């Protein structure tokens, strides 16, 4: 029996093979340093866990409205209002099963067949597939380390066609940790402002920025509220990746379209996780500062060591918990063909798991998370050095 073309055309994750291999090696007792994870290594804070336990004890274990409980939608609206300086109400917010689900539903709500979505590279792995699953066409905007992984405004202008429906911005970025400069953001605003193009602002790392101010298009131009679709959630900021709660902020029309999709697909996100998320965003915020401080220290430790490796260049990320080294100089001189080949061999020879840059649309790079202990960061980077020097 045939499967759907939709699924047949879906590209399998190239990270999967490496992750599976790393896990199998770990199971065999091999000392693998895993830089692959896309999540904080901290536990979910106690106050949040307690709120979930209380929700269970209080019997908050039944269906909620598909869009999420009103208290949480209200609290998210309040935070969006504070963060962006633009008024949001609960009707302009919907709760989904993680930021990933928020994004999936956004594309389902706004795209018709062949509509184009501009995705600047390096991009988070799932954007292109999500666009394709909604019948749309991803249009990738390339960038390089020489451009500081900023959006090239000329390329952006040239990429816009009558079919362009949206552009996705993700700053701080997964995988590069880079943030878009004020000039880049102003440039994007100038180009998109008078066109019927949505700006999907994936701000999931907005609270994890180091010594810089978080900015997005809406903060810089409040008149963009109707065309900006905000994505956020609790996964990264509160180390709650397993709880699956994401937020979308958009016009009432878009929110009610997503509500329709949710009501016919997932229904509400888990009731207990919603109460935990409510505590996360309205309760004590000190755990965020503790985690941020640790990440900043690890970033500084890792970047200093990494940039002493010959043939490797890495920009200092301003946010998130990823480093995105460029190894084109090394790969050109080596026997390795590309980033997948590099990463497979790095895992086999030195037992270090990183994610190939081709998964994020930039060849000859790789992504490594710094959400692991200082000891493992240092051990892993030494192994990468050995690999490059001895290759
Ligand atoms: C840029 C970006 N957007 C969205 C998500 C989705 O987050 P969640 O775990 O809440 O689905 C991630 C998670 O890795 C991410 O890195």
- CATH number for the segment(s) 5-43+286-390: 3.90.1150.10
Task: Decide: 175 in ligand 1 pocket, CB within 6 A.
Answer: no
Atom of ligand 1 nearest to the CA of 241: 9
The pLDDT assigned to 11 comes to 79
Q: From ligand 1's centre to the CA of 184, what distance in Å?
A: 23
* Distance (Å, whole) CA 53 – CA 358: 41
What single DSSP character describes residue 144? -
Q: From ligand 1's centre to the CA of 95, what distance in Å?
A: 14
In the chain, ranges of CATH 3.40.640.10 domains: 46-282
Q: Which of 106, 174, 274, 324 to mutate to test the pocket of ligand 1 (most atoms within 8 A of CB)?
A: 174
Candidate CATH numbers 3.40.50.620, 3.40.640.10, 3.30.360.10, 3.40.50.720; the one for domain 46-282: 3.40.640.10
Q: From ligand 1's centre to the CA of 309, what distance in Å?
A: 30
The pLDDT assigned to 206 comes to 98
* Distance (Å, whole) CA 326 – CA 341: 14
Task: Decide: 174 in ligand 1 pocket, CB within 6 A.
Answer: yes
What phi, psi does 256 have (nearest 5°)? -70, -30
Task: Decide: 350 in ligand 1 pocket, CB within 6 A.
Answer: no
Which residues touch 12 (CB under 8 Å, ≥6 apart)? none
The pLDDT assigned to 13 comes to 73
Token readout for 338 is: 């590309």
Task: Decide: 269 in ligand 1 pocket, CB within 6 A.
Answer: no
Task: Decide: 100 in ligand 1 pocket, CB within 6 A.
Answer: yes
What phi, psi does 191 have (nearest 5°)? -70, -35
Atom of ligand 1 nearest to the CA of 234: 10
How high is the mean pLDDT in each 10-residue block of the chain (391 residues)?
A: 89 75 91 92 97 98 98 98 98 98 98 97 96 97 95 97 98 97 97 97 98 96 98 98 98 98 98 98 97 97 96 97 97 94 95 96 96 96 97 84
Torsion angle defined by CA atoms of residues 115, 119, 124 and 126, in that order, rounded to the nearest 10 degrees = 10
226-257: b or e for each residue (b if 16 or more CB lie within 10 Å)? ebbbbbbbbbbbbbbbebbbbbbbbbeebbeb
CA 124 distance to own-chain centroid: 6
Task: Decide: 233 in ligand 1 pocket, CB within 6 A.
Answer: yes
Cβ neighbours of 173 (radius 10 Å): 26
What single DSSP character describes residue 209? B
Task: Decide: 361 in ligand 1 pocket, CB within 6 A.
Answer: no
Which residues touch 299 (CB under 8 Å, ≥6 apart)? 177, 210, 316, 317, 321, 323, 370
Q: From ligand 1's centre to the CA of 203, what distance in Å?
A: 9
Residue with tokens 């918990």: 321
Task: Decide: 235 in ligand 1 pocket, CB within 6 A.
Answer: yes
Atom of ligand 1 nearest to the CA of 235: 10
The pLDDT assigned to 17 comes to 76
* Distance (Å, whole) CA 121 – CA 119: 6
Token readout for 387 is: 């690999």
* Distance (Å, whole) CA 307 – CA 303: 6
* Distance (Å, whole) CA 333 – CA 198: 43
Contact 80, 233 (CB under 8 A): no
Q: Which of 204, 234, 238, 245 to mutate to test the pocket of ligand 1 (most atoms within 8 A of CB)?
A: 204
Helical segments of the chain, H only = 5-8, 14-27, 46-57, 70-84, 99-110, 126-133, 153-159, 182-192, 217-220, 252-263, 271-282, 286-306, 328-333, 339-350, 374-390
Torsion angle defined by CA atoms of residues 171, 151, 140 and 359, in that order, rounded to the nearest 10 degrees = -50
Q: From ligand 1's centre to the CA of 254, what distance in Å?
A: 20
Task: Decide: 246 in ligand 1 pocket, CB within 6 A.
Answer: yes
Task: Decide: 321 in ligand 1 pocket, CB within 6 A.
Answer: no
DSSP 3-state assignment of 171? coil
* Distance (Å, whole) CA 34 – CA 373: 11
Residue length, the chain? 391
Task: Decide: 170 in ligand 1 pocket, CB within 6 A.
Answer: yes
Q: Which of 121, 236, 281, 317 to mutate to test the pocket of ligand 1 (most atoms within 8 A of CB)?
A: 236
Taking each helix axis from N to C end, the angle separating 271-282 and 70-84, rounded to the nearest 10 degrees, works out to 30
* Distance (Å, whole) CA 152 – CA 142: 8
Q: From ligand 1's centre to the CA of 99, what distance in Å?
A: 5
In the chain, ranges of CATH 3.90.1150.10 domains: 5-43+286-390
Atom of ligand 1 nearest to the CA of 39: 14
* Distance (Å, whole) CA 30 – CA 25: 5
């Amino acid at each position: 029996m045939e499967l759907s073309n939709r699924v047949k055309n879906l590209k399998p994750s190239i990270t999967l093979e490496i992750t599976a291999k790393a896990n199998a090696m770990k199971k065999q007792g091999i000392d693998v340093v895993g830089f692959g994870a896309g999540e904080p290594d901290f536990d979910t804070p106690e106050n949040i866990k307690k709120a979930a336990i209380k929700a269970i004890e209080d019997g908050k274990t039944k269906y909620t409205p598909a869009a999420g409980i009103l208290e949480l939608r209200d609290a998210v609206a309040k935070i969006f209002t504070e963060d962006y300086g633009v008024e949001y109400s609960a009707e302009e917010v919907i709760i989904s099963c993680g930021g990933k689900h928020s994004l999936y539903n956004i594309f389902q709500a706004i795209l018709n067949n062949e509509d184009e979505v501009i995705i600047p590279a390096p991009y988070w792995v799932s954007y292109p597939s999500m666009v394709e699953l909604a019948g749309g066409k991803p249009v990738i905007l390339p960038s390089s380390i020489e451009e500081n992984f900023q959006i090239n405004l000329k390329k952006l202008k040239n990429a816009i066609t009558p079919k362009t429906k949206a552009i996705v911005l993700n700053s701080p970025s997964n995988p590069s940790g880079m943030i878009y400069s004020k000039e880049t953001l102003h440039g994007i605003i100038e180009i998109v402002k008078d066109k019927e193009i949505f700006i999907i602002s994936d701000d999931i790392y907005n609270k994890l920025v180091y010594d810089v101010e978080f900015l997005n298009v809406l903060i810089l131009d409040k008149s963009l509220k109707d065309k900006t679709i905000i994505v956020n959630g609790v996964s990264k900021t509160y180390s709650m990746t397993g709880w699956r709660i994401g937020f979308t902020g958009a016009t009432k029309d878009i929110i009610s379209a997503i509500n329709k999709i949710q009501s016919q697909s997932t229904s509400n996100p888990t009731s207990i996780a919603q109460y935990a998320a409510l505590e996360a965003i309205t309760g004590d915020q000190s755990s965020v500062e503790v985690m941020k401080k640790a990440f900043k220290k690890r970033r500084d430790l890792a970047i200093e060591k990494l940039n002493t490796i010959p043939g490797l260049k890495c920009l200092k990320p301003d946010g998130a918990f990823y480093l995105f080294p460029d190894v084109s100089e090394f790969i050109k001189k080596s026997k390795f063909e590309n980033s997948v080949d590099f990463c497979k061999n790095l895992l086999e020879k030195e037992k270090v798991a990183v994610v190939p840059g081709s998964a994020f649309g930039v060849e000859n790079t790789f992504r490594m998370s710094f959400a692991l202990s200082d000891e493992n960061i240092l051990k892993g980077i030494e192994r990468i050095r050995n690999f490059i020097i001895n290759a």
